[in-house]
Amino acid sequence: MKKKKLALIHTVNWYEKVITKPFAMPWLKKNPDVEIINIMDDSLLAESLSNGGPTKAVIRRMINYFQSAEATGADVIMSTCTTMGEATRTARKFLNTPVFNIDEPMAKEAVAKGTKFGILATVSTSAPATRRLLNIEAQQGGKQIDIKTVINEEAFKNLLAGNIEKHDELVYSELEKLQNEVDVIVLGQISLAQIKYKTKVPLFQVGHSGFDYATKLLKQ
């Protein structure tokens, strides 16, 4: 029996650490009839960070990668980068294959749980992308929401330097404060997907929900 294909588009070269090992490998064990194709271009996020978000050139390149994934015979395509949400939404106009961003299923679940949201990010381009996504989901559901954004870029610098303990300490500190100001907290970045912190309010992270949605699409 021919296996179905899930294509993943990554914008960091350390995707094995944050995507493959914690999420993709366990998911493949549950879905042995599927194979994963990985496409990576870390210039996409670097250029987006330098320009305050995805440029037209970045969006064009992302669309090219989506189309390349479709050309390989992928049955479903998922972008694993929060920052690329706009590119993913644009790509849907040009593809016949189902394509989505890893944070979209999480955002839909989160919007159903409250009206006052806190977004915690450590990458400057991630927070605006998550904000736009939450507003899109709320608008589609006819819901009015308020959003507070917190960005701690120092945490991301420590992550890149390999100082995971300091990274987590800074994130925990932000969560401790944010949980007293909102109904729901959203951690949109894949680099925050493995944060373990018990908050007073619902805490939503990307990762498993994205792969669960991929399963649903692959079965359709």
- Tell how far CA 95 is from the center of its chain: 20
Q: What is the mean pLDDT of each run of 10 residues along the chain (220 residues)?
A: 94 95 96 97 96 95 97 97 95 95 95 96 93 95 95 95 95 97 94 92 95 96
Question: What is the C-alpha separation between 128 and 103, in angstroms, rounded?
Answer: 13
What is the rounded distance in angstroms from the CA atom of residue 148 to the CA atom of residue 153? 16
pTM of the model: 0.91
| pLDDT computed for residue 218 by the predictor | 97
Enter the tokens of residue 52: 């305050």
Return the CATH class of domain 104-205. alpha beta
CATH topology of domain 4-102+208-219: Rossmann fold (3.40.50)
Confirm if 97 and 74 have CB atoms less than 8 A apart.
yes
- The helix/strand/coil state of 4 is strand
Residue spans in the chain of domains classed CATH 3.40.50.1860: 4-102+208-219, 104-205
Please report the pLDDT score of residue 82 as a whole number. Answer: 93
Please tell me the predicted confidence (pLDDT) of residue 204. 96
At 198 the pLDDT is 92
